[in-house]
Amino acid sequence: MGGQACVLYGAAEFSRDTDLAILASQANLSRLRAAFSELEAEVIAVPPFELNYLRKGHAVHFRCRQKEAAGMRVDVMTKMRGVDAFSRLWARRTTLSAEDGTVYQLMSLPDLVKAKKTQRDKDWPMIRRLVEADYFRHREKPTREQLRFWFLELRTPELLIELSAIHPNVCRRLGKQRPLLKLAMADAESDLIAGLSEEEKLEREADRAYWAPLKAELEELRRARLRKG
């Protein structure tokens, strides 16, 4: 659900980290602990690798020491702002198979885009590239679901204007969910750019508000660790 997923979706991003969305169950954590043991992976920050922290929305951070994976960081989450529960994510997953037979289970592209609507600067250009890559790959024969995804998530003004001209009825229908689509239909590029900027600003603010109590809890965990020495 991180940089590696972006690479597999065709919006390349160099990353030495692997971000995983997992089902938070005791049995699953036992299997993960066994896998991390093989990787000689250690938790490198708070919180500890426990179900209660994952279910609150925290990420647990590991660093691998095993020779072939030395230095690789693995971040594990189970709950994200604005993203459905794991059971729904799994039902909508994308399955890819590599030439060597390795199977990759990816968060669906729409879900990945939602998960990346954070306060981090690096995530917003990646959202743009992910949706653009999907648009250019399928725009000749789009499905209804793809059209909906592009209209609601494209962040490229000229492509939104192009798409609204080709599919005006779909654009009008989705305008209530994303009001700036009216600007795309009016070919008001400068206003559309401003609207996209405001949309991003509101998402960043929502993410900061979501993380505020979680960050406060992490700070208390750090202080408790220091007190223990």
**Residue among 163, 93, 81 at smallest CA distance from 117:** 81
In this model, does residue 9 exceed pLDDT 90? no
pLDDT at 108: 96
- How far is residue 104's CA from residue 8's CA, in Å, rounded to a whole number? 9
- Mean pLDDT, range 190-202, rounded to an integer: 98
In this model, does residue 91 exceed pLDDT 90? yes
**What's the pLDDT band for 228 if we cut at 50, 70, 90?**
confident
Q: Which residue has the higher pLDDT, 9 or 34?
A: 34
In this model, does residue 187 exceed pLDDT 70? yes
pLDDT at 225: 87
**Per-residue pLDDT reduced to its tens digit, 166-183:** 999 999 999 999 999 999
pLDDT at 1: 86
- Mean pLDDT, range 30-50, rounded to an integer: 95
pLDDT at 4: 83
pLDDT at 32: 94
- How far is residue 93's CA from residue 105's CA, in Å, rounded to a whole number? 6
How is the chain split among helix, strand and coil, in percent rounded to 5?
55, 10, 30
pLDDT at 98: 87
**Per-residue pLDDT reduced to its tens digit, 146-157:** 999 999 999 999
- Mean pLDDT, range 191-200, rounded to an integer: 98
**Residue among 16, 14, 49, 48 at smallest CA distance from 32:** 49
Instruction: Answer whether the bond into residue 47 is a cis peptide, omega within 30°.
Output: yes
The average confidence (pLDDT) of the chain is 94
**What's the pLDDT band for 188 if we cut at 50, 70, 90?**
very high
In this model, does residue 20 exceed pLDDT 70? yes
Q: Which run of H or of E encompasses 156?
A: none
Pairing of β 17-21 and β 73-77 = parallel
**Residue among 98, 118, 137 at smallest CA distance from 4:** 98
pLDDT at 59: 95
Q: DSSP assignment of 33-85, as one string?
A: HHHHHHTTEEE-SSSPS-HHHHHHT--EEEEE-SGGGTT-EEEEES--TT---
pLDDT at 13: 67
Cβ–Cβ contacts within 10 Å for residue 110, how many? Answer: 19
pLDDT at 210: 96
Q: What is the model's pTM? A: 0.91
CA-based angle 170:135:147, to the nearest 5?
20
pLDDT at 179: 97
Residues 6+ apart with CB under 8 A from 9: 106, 109, 112, 130, 133, 134
**What's the pLDDT band for 227 if we cut at 50, 70, 90?**
confident
